[in-house]
A and B are shown apart, each in its own frame.
Chain A
Amino acid sequence: MLDRPLRLSPDVSVRPEPFGALLYSFGTRRLSFLKDRRLLDVVQALGTSATAREACATAGVTPEQLASYDAALVRLLRTELLQEVA
């Protein structure tokens, strides 16, 4: 997942919060909580990063944390909050 180019789905609204963020998809009516502020930074960096790995590096994710963030990005992709760039 980390080596794929990802983007926030166009029908998703992001609301930063002190705990992380709320993501709401107007398409799936799914509300998701990002429980880590750095994950929000990763999601926001996806738009200007070639890969998810690059977005994680931009957000300051350490190598030890990459697995957790990878799993979170997979979940966001499966729930259609993120999409892979063609």
Chain B
Amino acid sequence: MSDTITIEVPEDTTADAVELVELVAADLLVEDVSIDGMCGVY
């Protein structure tokens, strides 16, 4: 089940802060993992 979260951004929010909010929202649905170096895993 997905969580629905409403994120309110103040009008004076900077572009960097808006991008951060967007990344946080993206993190709710997508999580990345790097498996480099996992040699020998079968």
Contact = CB atoms under 8 A, between A and B. Distances in A.
Interface of A: 29-39, 64-65, 67-69, 71-72, 74-76, 79
Given A67-B25, A71-B22, A35 B31 contact: yes
A46 B37 CA distance: 32
Given A30-B34, A75-B32, 16 more contacts: A29-B36, A30-B32, A33-B30, A35-B28, A36-B29, A39-B2, A39-B29, A65-B2, A68-B4, A68-B29, A71-B25, A71-B26, A71-B29, A72-B26, A72-B30, A75-B26
A35 B30 contact: yes
Contacts of A33: 30-33
Given A38-B2, A65-B4, A31 B25 contact: no
Contacts of A34: 29-30
A30 B38 CA distance: 12
B23 to A, nearest CB: 7
A11 B29 CA distance: 21
A37 to B, nearest CB: 8
Contacts of B31: 32-33, 35
Given A64-B4, A68-B25, A75 B34 contact: no
